[in-house]
Amino acid sequence: MKSILKKFSIFLMLVLLNSVGFGQSNEIEITFLGNAGFLMSDGVTNIYFDFPYKSGAYGYMTYDESELDKIKDNSIFIFTHKHADHYSRKLVKKLKGEIYAGANRKRIDQLNKKLLDFKIQSFKTKHKFSLTHYSYLVDWKGKRFFISGDTEHPETIGSIKNIDYVFVPYWILLYAKKANLDIDAKIRVLYHLYPNQHFDGDIPENYIVFNNPGMKFTIRVD
């Protein structure tokens, strides 16, 4: 009996520490790491998308090796697919954490069981020269993030409603427009750009352009 009580009080202490230490986690921070790679963290759970990839692969962005040392322990790593500009076989081998590469619904459901405030859905989407490419919809406390990845096919992104932040390469925007598909997202985060890729004119208010690794933004819920 005593030991149960002891266990329970330790458990309670941990719960309290968690909610105090992390400000009850009503804030999520998104940090851009390069290409389609970014970290999503609410202070409790750290999820990396399409990182680590092979720095500089196919002429895309490089990142400093020190970024690898900054990777948080016990993180979750989700990849849209295994092309080198999204995924490094060599670096992934060294990771200490859970890896979900091109993860289908079943795999993602296993992950969901372990997550506290995140719920993720995976969608099989087509991509040239890749047999397993998945896009993901992440829900965090009612905020919805859609991570498109490398797909060239806009049907999936066009079918999802009420997205808060959509992570997209510019070509999916073009293909969606061509197909007359509306992307129902409040904010468009443009990613997977070439180094020094420029845009003419002003960036619209509902866009965030991930052109500099280290860029970050936070979202709060009350």
Q: How many CB atoms lie within 10 A of CB 24?
A: 12
> Quick check: 50 binds Zn ion (CB under 5 A)?
no
Q: How far is CA 153 from the centre of its chain?
A: 19
Cβ contacts of 104 within 8 Å, gap of 6 or more: 122, 124, 132, 134
Which one, 42 or 150, has the nearer CB to Zn ion?
150
Q: Does 192 bind Zn ion (CB under 5 A)?
A: no
Name the one range near Zn ion by CB under 5 A: 29-37, 113-121, 146-154, 207-215: 146-154
Among 40, 63, 118, 150, contact with Zn ion (rule: CB under 5 A): 150
Structural contact between residues 171 and 149, judged by C-beta atoms closer than 8 angstroms = no
Given the complex with Zn ion, which of 42 and 50 has the nearer CB atom?
50
Q: How far is the CB of 83 from Zn ion (least distance, A)?
A: 3
DSSP label of 201: S
Closest distance of CB 130 from Zn ion, Å? 6
Interface with Zn ion includes 83 (CB under 5 A)? yes
The count of chain residues that interact with Zn ion, using the rule CB under 5 A, is 2
Helix, strand and coil content of the chain, in percent to the nearest 5, comes to 25, 30, 45
Which is closer to Zn ion, CB of 83 or CB of 188?
83
Residues with Cβ within 8 Å of 58's Cβ and at least 6 positions away in sequence, in order, are 84, 85
Residues of this chain that interact with Zn ion (CB under 5 A) are 83, 150
